[in-house]
Amino acid sequence: MFKRIVLLGLALAIILAACKAPAGVTPTSKKGRVPLAPEGTLLRKIQDRGKLICGTKYDIPTFGYLNPKTNQVEGFDVEICRAVAEYIFGDPNAVEIKEAISKNRIPFLKEGVVDIVASTMTINEERLKEIDFSIVYYVAGQSLLVPKNSPISGVDDLKGKRVGTVKGSTSEKNIRAISEKKGLNIEVVLFDTYSEAVAAMDAGRVDAVTTDDIILYGFVRQEPDKWKVVGGRFTVEPYGVGVKKGEKELLEVVNTVIKELKTSGRWKEIYKKWIPSDVVPEPPPDDWREAK
């Protein structure tokens, strides 16, 4: 009889042990949805730290903008950072936003200054050699910002003109290529940030500023009496979240979050909140090569 009770107890203990979650899949918090990642991965480092460090811009009203009224960074890119933090920790505020401008966002990922970058960054072959990218979360296109009274109405009017843009951007490469191809002899003037380029245009030092339309529309929204966007979209710029190469657990988390934003309807809410447009389109396809 005693032997039977011992055996029964033993069997029960084995069954209970088998039912318990195996090591490595303990949730990090009651509300977070990500199992504890293996030691040595960047995702695990983030989980142990208890917050995500995300690089965004600080001077782009639509995507990443340090609002002087609230002292908070806000915009489409910031919403992506918060959604990733919410997924990992169950808390959209478990995130530290750091400024990552165009020329330092890839070095910041490589050096571990930030965990992810959501900074109006276009996915392309060249950058994919250095970092990994999430699926596409927005598609922009390069355009021109000019003073309201400017006669410039498109790239062909830029012959011999001074055009401001930013170091480390696709905008610089694209405008140089267009100038070369069309023989426009554009003088490209480089700045660290787009707000500096716009300030230079305000001071009459450049005739136009070129970058993604959605960045330019942000400046128009801030000073509608001063600027206008002209020339239409002359490139396709699919935005992805940058992640250090090889951190597949973190990349998977970011991709899951973007997928959920797109399918749940939240992507449309974010779009409506930050993009100055009357119509809210369908979310873009995941694959950057399919971006239009």
| Chain residues in the site for ligand GLU (CB under 6 A) | 102, 119-122, 166, 169-171, 211-212, 237
Q: Which is nearer to ligand GLU, 125 or 225 (CB)?
A: 125
Distance from C-alpha of 58 to C-alpha of 235, rounded to nearest angstrom? 24
- Rounded to a whole number of angstroms, the minimum distance from the CB of residue 168 to ligand GLU is 7
Q: Which is nearer to ligand GLU, 209 or 261 (CB)?
A: 209
Residues sharing a CB contact under 8 Å with residue 291, sequence separation 6 or more, in sequence order: 136, 139, 236, 237, 238, 284, 285
- Rounded to a whole number of angstroms, the minimum distance from the CB of residue 107 to ligand GLU is 14
- Rounded to a whole number of angstroms, the minimum distance from the CB of residue 121 to ligand GLU is 4
Distance from C-alpha of 52 to C-alpha of 81, rounded to nearest angstrom? 8
Q: Which is nearer to ligand GLU, 36 or 199 (CB)?
A: 199
Runs of H (alpha helix) within the chain: 2-19, 42-49, 76-89, 105-111, 125-128, 170-182, 194-202, 213-222, 248-264, 266-274
Strands 142-147 and 208-212: antiparallel
- Rounded to a whole number of angstroms, the minimum distance from the CB of residue 182 to ligand GLU is 20
Which residue's C-beta sits nearest to ligand GLU? 169
Report phi then psi at 212, rounded to 5.
-65, 140
Residues sharing a CB contact under 8 Å with residue 228, sequence separation 6 or more, in sequence order: 145, 146, 147, 148, 150, 220
- Rounded to a whole number of angstroms, the minimum distance from the CB of residue 55 to ligand GLU is 11
Q: Which is nearer to ligand GLU, 86 or 237 (CB)?
A: 237
Q: Which is nearer to ligand GLU, 87 or 133 (CB)?
A: 133
- Rounded to a whole number of angstroms, the minimum distance from the CB of residue 237 to ligand GLU is 4
Question: CA gyration radius for the chain?
Answer: 24
Distance from C-alpha of 168 to C-alpha of 61, rounded to nearest angstrom? 20
Q: Which is nearer to ligand GLU, 207 or 213 (CB)?
A: 213
